[in-house]
Amino acid sequence: MLNTVKNNDFSAALASSKAFVDFNATWCGPCRMVAPIVDELADEYDDKVDFYAVDVDDNPKIAADFGVSSIPTLVLLENGTEKGRIVGFRPKDALKEFIDNN
């Protein structure tokens, strides 16, 4: 399940043992391309990884805290610590490899 972050409340993602965070915006073409892939991965990794979507326009503090300057930015967290980051669109296989190897 994909969780939508609202009101700059990122506490659930930081408390998660493993979290995949999609920093995006509604006006961003590559973000719209990666969104369905992230949804599929959220279903496939449902019991292993928590998935979060962060609209950078609605949650500017979180984006600033993570130094997000380009979107989509995909961040993998483990117990609140960043383990990996991808900037830009990637196909599903690349995202699966990113999750599995971090």
The pLDDT score that the predictor gives to residue 1 is 85
Domain locations in the chain? 2-100
Please list the pLDDT of the chain residue by residue as tens digits (102 residues).
Answer: 899 999 889 999 999 999 999 999 999 999 999 999 999 999 999 999 999 999 999 999 999 999 999 999 999 999 999 999 999 999 999 999 999 998
The pLDDT score that the predictor gives to residue 8 is 85
Strand ranges (E), 1-102: 2-4, 18-24, 50-55, 73-78, 81-87
The pLDDT score that the predictor gives to residue 32 is 97
Q: Which active-site residues does the annotation give?
A: 28, 31
The pLDDT score that the predictor gives to residue 33 is 97
Neighbours of 4 (CB within 10 A): 10
The pLDDT score that the predictor gives to residue 11 is 94
**CATH architecture group of domain 2-100:** 3-Layer(aba) Sandwich (3.40)
The pLDDT score that the predictor gives to residue 67 is 96
Tokens 């043992």 sit on residue: 17
List Cβ neighbours of 81 (8 Å cut-off, separation of 6 or more): none
